[in-house]
Amino acid sequence: MDSIKQSFRQFSNERFEQRFAEIKREVLDDRHVRSFLNSNPGLTKEQTENGINELYQYKEQWKNCDYCPGLDECPNLMSGYQPVPALYRGEIQLEYKPCLLKKKEDERRRQASFVQSLYIPKEMTEVTFDDFHEDNPSRIEACTKAMAFCADVNPGEDGQGLYIHGPFGVGKSFLVGAIANYLAEAETSTMIVYAPDFFRELKNGISDGSYQDKLNLVKQAQVLILDDIGAETMSNWIRDDILGALLQFRMMEKLPTIFTSNFNLDELEIHLSSTQRGGVERVDQLKAKRILERIRHLNKVIDMKGENKREK
């Protein structure tokens, strides 16, 4: 990041004082700088003059943030970090704190390094509600309900979630990607887990000792999205020890859960009742019904219909 002196090199000596005064006036008129000075009324004129270079860098880097080009192209002195002015022994100095995009990316990397099933296709990390330009009434209604959920979500106080179901390719995963990205902008932590891979990964975690830590990480997410529930091969262990325990914890802690599935709720109940033992026993039906009661109680249903966009 250039200092004021470096920016003066293009000017002759006779214009130096004039240009310096102009730049200083621009710095002191900047809204971010004014906010800092107003919050520190004890600053003397001399302290402000001595700190003009730091305030100049503060202004210039926040200009980048105001018109953010994205984390990959961040031009700030420290990519992904925003300057914060502070007083240290009577002098204005800059500290650097990670921006929202940097925090989001660091958290995603931390989670993904621990739970491999958190891998999300690139298109899901970029989609927003503005991308839904639909004339299909079902998709319009689904998008409206999803936006209403985002407006009302309150993890820890209200555990109301969504159950989004429909056939292949109608945009269920696309929709939850928009939800996750919207909530990330609102600084609400959202974890998207591809359910079949997650269940397999937990099974492998029994042998390497990571099972409980991985389960706890997912259980405690502020907003959890279980993508493609019902695509897994069902077993008593998945139903009772993972899914049942997961939903029980989240219900007690009032943490919202969003499901996507090719099954409607009645079909999901049948799926949860059918295990690898073959057939359907009375005890399996009761356990499946208990899980479905929780889902029905805590999740608004979104029925998505339409043509398969993957085939276009």
pLDDT at 186: 80
Domain that holds residue 138: 102-311
User: Residues 267, 122: one domain?
Assistant: yes
Domain edge (last residue) among 98, 128, 144: 98
Both tokens of residue 161? 């979630």
Other C-beta atoms closer than 10 Å to the C-beta of 259 total 27
Tell me, what CATH number does 196's domain have? Answer: 3.40.50.300
CA distances from 263 to 125, 131, 177, 194, 258 (A): 25, 25, 19, 15, 14
Whether the predicted model's global pTM rises above the 0.75 cut: no
pLDDT at 157: 94
Domain edge (last residue) among 71, 98, 125: 98
User: Residues 175, 277: one domain?
Assistant: yes
pLDDT at 85: 92
User: Residues 65, 172: one domain?
Assistant: no
Tens-binned pLDDT, residue by residue, of the chain (312 aa): 455 555 555 555 657 778 878 888 999 999 999 999 999 988 899 999 899 999 999 999 999 999 999 888 999 989 999 999 998 888 999 999 999 888 878 876 765 554 444 656 666 767 888 887 766 888 889 999 999 999 999 999 999 999 999 998 888 988 998 898 888 778 788 888 899 988 988 888 888 888 888 888 889 999 999 999 999 888 889 999 999 999 999 999 999 999 999 999 999 999 998 765 555 567 888 999 999 999 999 999 999 987 766 655
pLDDT at 6: 57
**Pair type for strands 91-98 and 161-165:** unpaired
Residue 239 three-state SS: helix
User: Residues 229, 157: one domain?
Assistant: yes
Both tokens of residue 130? 């503005």
Note whether 306 and 139 are within 8 A (CB): yes
Residue type, 195: A
Other C-beta atoms closer than 10 Å to the C-beta of 304 total 20
User: Residues 212, 132: one domain?
Assistant: yes
User: Residues 209, 138: one domain?
Assistant: yes
User: Residues 15, 131: one domain?
Assistant: no
User: Residues 93, 115: one domain?
Assistant: no
Both tokens of residue 170? 């109608």
User: Residues 41, 90: one domain?
Assistant: yes
Phi/psi zone of residue 221: left (φ > 0), alpha (ψ -120 to 50 degrees), beta? beta
**What is the number of domains present in the chain?**
2
Q: What distance in Å separates the CA atoms of residue 305 and residue 141, rounded to the nearest whole number?
A: 10
User: Residues 158, 280: one domain?
Assistant: yes
Note whether 53 and 74 are within 8 A (CB): no
Q: What distance in Å separates the CA atoms of residue 287 and residue 301, rounded to the nearest whole number?
A: 21
Note whether 141 and 300 are within 8 A (CB): no
Closest CA to 259 of 187, 185, 160: 160
| Helices vs strands, H then E, count in the chain | 15, 7
User: Residues 287, 149: one domain?
Assistant: yes
User: Residues 158, 176: one domain?
Assistant: yes
Domain edge (last residue) among 98, 113, 140: 98
